Amino acid sequence: MSHRIATNSRIRFLTILGGLGSGSIAHGLTRSGFLGMLGRRPASTSRGTTLTTTIDKIAWILLEDGKILSTRSRGKDVYYIPGGKREPGETDLDTLVREIDEELAVAIVPSSAAHFGTFRAQAHGHADGVIVQMTCYTAQYQGTPTASSEIDEVVWLTYADRDRVAPVDQIIFDHLHRSGRLT
């Protein structure tokens, strides 16, 4: 689906690519960037081509005794706050419940979910300009968090582990540390 939006006398295209299996990706492109994606040579402009890609993720913030629950996926070198990309048609809550069940084999109590914050940063392991937007929730759960699906390791991290997590998680670590919730 593609929408044409006029902004400041320039035409920008917003393209949502859904159904890619693991979630959706949004692209905001200038006309020349859009044509470049189609394999066409863009008209030369003095402004250049701007490409911004945003990966939309939902995450679960679980804190205990000044530590945060984190996971390491198979083949990855950093830890991530549990969660993942939404599938087409899912709400934030649908995604949260599904992803946490898949990754940690626990059941989120939907009525207890509360928005914690939304954070943006360069996406770890992606090209420059690819941004991850992580919408975070706290929630009660039933069960014991256990590595499941693509997760190799479940750990409790402190602020001292900040350099072991992805860039967006570092921003969340900073926020939690400033508020005294992550030691």
**Is 130's pLDDT higher than 80?**
yes
CA 57/CA 129 separation, integer angstroms: 16
**Is the domain of 72 the same as that of 93?**
yes
Instruction: From 92, 82, 90, select the one nearest 148 (Cα to Cα).
Output: 82
Q: What is each CA distance from 32 to 13, 27, 37, in whole angstroms?
A: 10, 13, 9
* Token pair listed for 64: 């205990």
| Domain of residue 100, CATH code | 3.90.79.10
How is 58-115 classified by DSSP, letter by letter? EEE--EETTEEEEEEETT-SSBB-SEEEPPTT--HHHHHHHHHHHHH--EE-GGG-EE
Per-residue pLDDT tens for 25-65? 333 433 334 333 334 333 333 455 556 799 999 999 999 99
Looking at the DSSP bridge assignments, the partners of residue 141 are: 108
**Is the domain of 105 the same as that of 79?**
yes
Q: Is 127 part of a structural domain of the chain?
A: no
Helices (H), ranges, 114-183: 167-178
- H or E stretch at 29: strand 25-30
Per-residue pLDDT tens for 101-122? 999 999 999 999 999 999 999 9
Q: Is 183 part of a structural domain of the chain?
A: no
**Is the domain of 139 the same as that of 173?**
yes
Q: Is 81 part of a structural domain of the chain?
A: yes
* Token pair listed for 79: 């830890």
Handedness of CA 71, 72, 78, 82 (dihedral sign): negative
Please tell me the predicted confidence (pLDDT) of residue 145.
Answer: 97
21-25, 91-95, 127-131, 179-183: which range is least confident on average?
Answer: 21-25
CA 123/CA 133 separation, integer angstroms: 9
- Give the domain extent around 31: 2-49
* Token pair listed for 30: 């200038």
**Is the domain of 112 the same as that of 153?**
yes
Domain-ending residue, one of 49, 67, 87: 49
| DSSP code of residue 7 | E
If one compares 174 and 43, the residue with the highest pLDDT of the two is 174
Instruction: Give 94's contacts (C-beta < 8 A, 6+ positions apart).
Output: 86
The total of structural domains in the chain comes to: 2
